[in-house]
Amino acid sequence: MNENHSTLADLRREIDEIDDGLHRLLMQRAGVVMRIAEGKRQQSDTSPPIRAGRGAEILRRRCLNHRGPLPAAVMARLWREIISAFSPLHGPVDVALFAPRKSASYWELARSHFGASPMAATVPSFWAAMLCPCE
């Protein structure tokens, strides 16, 4: 019994080390994202922080290269959140949401697509969402 407890403690310690490594890599990624943002500022690049094509490219590559016991859908969700969390480092990210009848499913769709990081502002119509400067 004591040997099993020791093994569990060792495995939990290994998980902690992996978590520490993931954190270091995420902070390293943040540093690169901030250097990209600075490069864009120096070039007077005013493109929006979210580039749908780039996000899709990252997700596609991650899904194609995915191997292991964690479902691909879970990996895609994690990557979508990572992309969403890092986008504001480029500049402000706002989402305009037209949610008729204040349905929670619209909020869930927006969160599923944009991640939990951006703030969504409700607007009174579809056209208001399309034309919203979101500033």
Among 36-45, 77-86, 87-96, which stretch is predicted with the lowest mean pLDDT? 87-96
**Contact by Cβ (8 Å): 3, 58:** no
Work out the percent of the chain whose per-residue pLDDT is above 90: 37
**Contact by Cβ (8 Å): 33, 89:** yes
**Contact by Cβ (8 Å): 117, 85:** yes
pLDDT at 28 over 80: yes
In a domain, 1, yes or no: yes
Element (DSSP H or E) covering residue 79 = helix 72-86
Supply the pLDDT for residue 105. Answer: 85
pTM: 0.75
Longest dimension (CA), the chain: 66
| pLDDT band of 134, cuts 50, 70, 90 | low
In a domain, 28, yes or no: yes
Domain that holds residue 31: 1-46
